[in-house]
């Protein structure tokens, strides 16, 4: 496992009014969400990156105002048609 180091000026730490663990947790969640939304990581990989279980991460996505599953309308219509054709 790799460990990354980041330097943050003391003045900014005071301004944020957060302890180190809060900053790390917040940054992991924000970046994990971005990695998921840009397709760099899967849902489960992003949850792991954030240190959350799958359902917690899905809640984070929802709270951010983004869809958990972003399914293009055209693909959904095609799959629904295929499904209905199989029922006939």
Residue-wise pLDDT tens digits, 28-86: 999 999 999 999 999 999 999 999 999 999 999 999 999 888 777 777 777 778 878 87
Residue 2 belongs to some domain of the structure = no
Residue 22: give its domain's CATH number.
1.10.10
DSSP secondary structure code for residue 71 in this structure: -
> 79 is written with which tokens?
């799959």
Residue 10 belongs to some domain of the structure = no
Task: Domain of residue 73: give its range.
Answer: 18-87
Residue 50 belongs to some domain of the structure = yes
Residue-wise pLDDT tens digits, 57-66: 999 999 999 9
Residue 60 belongs to some domain of the structure = yes
C-beta atoms surrounding 36 within 10 Å:
25
Domain count, the chain: 1
Residue 7 belongs to some domain of the structure = no
> 3 is written with which tokens?
């460990």
- HEC sequence for 29-45: HHHHHHHHHCCCCCHHH
CA–CA–CA angle 35, 39, 44 (5° rounding) = 70
Q: Decide if pLDDT at 22 tops 80.
A: yes
């Amino acid at each position: 496992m790799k460990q990354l180091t980041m330097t943050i000026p003391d003045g900014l730490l005071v301004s944020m009014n957060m302890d180190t663990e809060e900053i790390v947790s917040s940054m992991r969640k924000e970046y994990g969400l971005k990695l998921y939304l840009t397709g760099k990581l899967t849902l489960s990989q992003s949850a792991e990156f954030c240190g959350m279980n799958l359902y917690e991460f899905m809640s984070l996505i929802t709270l951010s105002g983004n869809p958990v599953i972003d399914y293009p309308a055209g693909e959904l219509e095609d799959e629904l048609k295929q499904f209905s054709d199989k029922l006939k």
